[in-house]
Amino acid sequence: MPELQIELIPVLRDNYVYLIFDPATQACAAVDPAVAPPVLAALDRLGWRLTHILNTHHHHDHVGGNLALKAATGCTIVGYGPDAARIPGLDVAVKDGGTVTVGSATAQVIEVSGHTLGHIAYWFADHAALFCGDTLFSLGCGRLFEGNPAMMWASLGRLRDLPPETRIYCAHEYTEANARFALTLDPDNAALRARTREVCDLRSRDLPTLPSTIGVERATNPFLRADVPELQRAVGAPTGDAVAAFAEIRHRKDVF
């Protein structure tokens, strides 16, 4: 099947909006459009017409451009059904286990609550692409605004179980700061040190560090490694208690 084209648009201070374009049908989805003008400019430059918005959660820096883009393009807005009151202009309500179609491409909806309740990710399995919003970042994860550590650990586990070649498109460029934090917990991790060198090099040239992959994150991201004994020891959590280790890692990052 023809490859999707995925365009990364940096907006605000450190957000990314992604455009997903299906050459077979000319369908085009914007994932988490924080603001409309840069998205409209990118569509204009690329010659693409917006048909869908895919929202991962209700935060303003993910849905802020919804209504203006819908007014300009007539696109269909997809999001988590029970969050309809918090997602402007929601047209198509989805939930865990559902699917979303963008032209000839299909995404599975995976609920990954923790950052918010009702946060979802969109997994285009046939294209090895995951749009995970503020749940999973490269070398990090979202803050727990509405969920608890056990919930977030379970959500991250669902993403960690995806095929390792899956490319992850996160909603923020936080990787360099995340790397500095990760090295405090996991300094002997060769994969983390290599990824940190790559990230610092990319950022020094003002290039994005995304997409990462599930395989890279499994090996390097401390928030996916809370069940590794070395990490549990590093944060003083009881051996075998991944949730306690995850909670402590999250707390330490919150105050880092």
Q: Is 165 exposed, middle or buried (0-12, 13-18, 19+ CB in 10 A)?
A: exposed
Q: Is 62 a catalytic residue?
A: yes
| Given 58, 59, 127, 172, the residue binding Zn ion (CB under 5 A) | 59
Q: Is 119 a catalytic residue?
A: no
- Contact by Cβ (8 Å): 182, 220: yes
Q: Is 58 a catalytic residue?
A: no
Q: Is 127 a catalytic residue?
A: no
Residues 6 or more apart whose CB falls under 8 angstroms from that of 106 comprise 99, 100, 124, 125, 126
Nearer to Zn ion, 121 or 185 (CB): 121
52 binds Zn ion (CB under 5 A): no
Phi, psi dihedrals of residue 123, rounded to the nearest 5°? -115, 110
Count of chain residues binding Zn ion (CB under 5 A): 2
Measured CA distances, 209 to 165, 200, 201 (Å): 16, 9, 9
Nearer to Zn ion, 21 or 174 (CB): 174
Least Å distance, CB 239 to Zn ion, is 33
134 binds Zn ion (CB under 5 A): yes
Q: Is 115 a catalytic residue?
A: yes
Active-site entry in 22, 52, 58, 59: 59
Nearer to Zn ion, 134 or 248 (CB): 134
What is the footprint of Zn ion within residues 182-221 (CB under 5 A)? none
Tokens 């009151």, located at residue = 85
Q: Output the CA angle 187-175-177, nearest 5 degrees.
A: 65
Query: Pairing between strand 27-31 and 15-22?
Result: antiparallel
What is the footprint of Zn ion within residues 71-90 (CB under 5 A)? none
Neighbours of 191 (CB within 10 A): 13
Nearer to Zn ion, 52 or 59 (CB): 59
CA distance 161 to 159: 5
Give residue number: closest CB to Zn ion.
59
Q: Is 134 a catalytic residue?
A: yes
Nearer to Zn ion, 86 or 158 (CB): 86
Active-site entry in 62, 83, 119, 186: 62
Q: Is 172 a catalytic residue?
A: yes
Active-site residue set: 57, 59, 61-62, 115, 134, 172
Where on the chain is the footprint of Zn ion (CB under 5 A)? 59, 134
